[in-house]
Structure 1
Amino acid sequence: METTALWHLSASSTILKTTNIRNDHSVSCLIKSLYSLISTGTERLVAQGKVPDNLQEAMKVPYMEGSFGFPLTYGYSLVGEVIEGPEHLIGKNVHIMHPHQSMLYANQAHIAPIPEDIPSKRAVLVSNLETAVNAVWDSEVTVGEKVLVAGFGIIGALLCQILRKFPAIDLQVLEPNQTRREMARSWGFNVAETITLTEPSFDVAFNTSSHENGLQFCIDSVGYEGKVVELSWYGDQSVNINLGKSFHHLRKQIISSQVSQIPGHKLNRWDHQRRKALVFDLLKDPFFDELLTDEISFQDSPVFFQDLRNGTIDSIGTTIKY
């Protein structure tokens, strides 16, 4: 079976490479790819070769080929149609964590059938929405709180959509990029380029900006025992923050949030399957289609990654169409 996969050859080169794949005893389904989502923050760092040596094993994704030292395939949210496999899956659209690739074999245990009332393109948001759900759980945000989201990329936008479903939440978005601010306003969010603080007043702040300035503002913005949830991943870049202001005096908390593990206080009732079922239920809302702002063909994806390395991409959600 012939397939085409996206390969990062170096920190400056991405190509499409066609090879033959075959089934083996560890896999059971042949999937024809329909869409995949480019998670720009993480995938920019991968394409630039900025994955730290000590995290390379943890950062591997299922079915990835090569290594972070290049060359490698990467990507982690793909939707396709099962064309060979168990009879009950034939013709079904499924979600799988897999690098960007046109055809693939996958273990039945690694795929999730998509409910029929969720369009295949919208379903590429599954993995990132799981990240946003985990962050809300980590924050323990509740009714009536004042909440800041710094950064309105795909994770920030997904977070905002979940948070505004909470009763009486006072939600403020901080985003320096004009294009993204205009999108956020068009979707009804309260967004600003800068926020002047007279005093720390937010109960919870989420940093999705992938920048130390966003993290610093989040720290400075929360009040007594306020929580800062850090979702940005910086790769091998150092981050400088100032903890000498009110951080200790006001007993502020910085919480790391990451999708691969269910938060400890949820583990007695939740597992990955239940979380995915929740995400599918959330994705029944057609608003999520609005967040997929750009679509590119698979053939154009190497050019996109070059622009991504150069920092010229300001879209919120970019999908590859196969």
Structure 2
Amino acid sequence: MSESEHRRQATAYWTVGPGVGGLRVEELPAPDQGQALVRALYSGISRGTELLVHKAGVPDRVAEVMRAPHQVGDFPLPVKFGYLSVGVVEEGPEGWAGRIVFCLHPHQDRYVVPVESLTIVPAEVPARRAVLTGIVETAVNALWEAGPRIGDRIAVVGAGLVGGVLAALLTRFPLERLQLVDAGPRRKELADALRVDFALPDEALADCDIVFHCSASEPGLERCLQLCGTDGEIIELSWYGTRRVSLPLGEDFHARRLSVRASQVSVVARARRHRRSNADRLALAVSLLRDPVFDTFLSGASGFADLPGVMEQLADGRLDALCHLIEYPPPAEQPDEQPAQEGE
């Protein structure tokens, strides 16, 4: 098979049943004017959201609203979903070939997208680290929502990938106090690496001006209500999918006039929506990744061919990772013909 014929095919990861995924070979169109052909180098698994999709946990009511930018298929299944991809442009408009780019694209070895969908990765940012661009973007949006002020007392509840990245960015603010709160004692290692004070939920300091909730758990959100000071605000970053959440709203929430506000990354936060575009926000996010502290969140890697098994291990808890990297083989290692695999 010639190179031009080979490049008319791509392999992508699809979720094909509740808890079941596989690789599919599909046709790859030639790039049109204003489009680029990207060969993936790395992609990252956004554990919370992708496992929710993996388990078919997206509510029908918001299925259309919660689509990823280059998603194929409809929730719940089958669906090609993901949004942390870094690759190199193989073909595109003048000046694009050879560029390392980030794209909100599912796990796929080659793809064709409009160049407007690509964010150029600065030379100072390693391609591996650049997969975190979409996570940093989520954290930036939450900070724009909350608007931390000098001298604030802030808690981040939930030391997973989003909560950890958010805490890393908050260390740049002149705060009076910042705590990363998690029920897992092992997360203290992450907090130490970020140089952030760690606390178990029962030990966390109350009277916070802002509490960011990232644990996607009912006990976590309940503890946020207790940690927030009078007239304070809780910024909710968790997505619960079809799970229902019960809270004691007759206690701290009502008595101390608390606010709970959602932060969702599909649109720019209201405070910046008229002056920043999604592209501006992504460019800012990738620029922040010049800081090597973000390597802390890259907690393992597997080959693309192993992705279905990796998703199963993440789903059943055998694999504990913040951001698990998927590595794509270089062109010389890619076979001329790829057999149909599970889920085709």
Task: Structure 2: give runs of 5+ residues left out of the alignment.
Answer: 1-7, 329-344
The reply on whether 1:276 has 2:282 as its aligned counterpart is: yes
> Which residue in 2 is equivalent to 1:142?
149
Contact 1:148 1:171 in 2 (8 A): yes
Deviations 1:156-181 (A, max 9, x none): 11100111111134111111223333
Give the counterpart of 1:85 among 77, 92, 95: 92
Moved more, 116-125 or 15-24: 15-24
Partner of 1:18: 25
Counterpart CA distance in 2 for 1:118 and 1:2 is 30
**Matched ranges for 1:1-322 at <5 A:** 1-23=8-30, 25=32, 28-196=35-203, 200-322=206-328
Aligned residues: 321
Superposed displacement of residue 25, structure 1: 4.5
Q: Secondary structure of the equivalent of 1:210? A: coil
Give the drift of 1:24: 6.0
Compared CA separation, residues 65 and 225, structure 1 to 2 (3 A): same
Q: Structure 2 vs 1, CA of residues 95 and 221 (structure 1 numbering), >3 Å: closer, same or farther? A: same
Deviations 1:32-81 (A, max 9, x none): 00011111000001000010111111122233222223211110121110
What is the CA-CA distance between 1:207 and the residue it aligns to?
0.6
Counterpart-to-counterpart distance in 2, 1:90 and 1:155? 32
The percent identity for this pair of structures is: 35
Give the aligned residue type for 2:172: K
Letter in 2 for 1:2: Q
Matches of 1:54 and 1:155 in 2, distance apart? Answer: 25
CA distance in 2, matches of 1:90, 1:46: 33
- Structure 2: distance between partners of 1:12 and 1:131: 25
CA distance in 2, matches of 1:66, 1:286: 36
Aligned equivalents of 1:263, 1:297: Cα separation in 2: 35
Q: CA deviation at 1:269?
A: 2.5
TM-score of the pair, normalised by structure 1: 0.94
8 Å CA contact 1:95–1:123 kept in 2: the answer is: yes
Matches of 2:30 and 2:315, distance apart in 1: 34
**For the structure 1 residues 296 and 32, does the alpha-carbon distance in structure 2 shift closer, same or farther, using more than 3 Å as the test?**
same
1:275-310 CA distances to partner (integer Å, 9 max, x unpaired)? 223223211111112211221211111111112221
- Provide the C-alpha distance between the structure 2 equivalents of 1:63 and 1:277, rounded to a whole number of angstroms: 18
Q: Which amino acid aligns with 2:161?
A: I
> Once the 2 structures are TM-superposed, how far is the Cα of residue 27 of structure 1 from its aligned partner?
6.3
Note the aligned Cα RMSD (angstroms).
Answer: 1.7
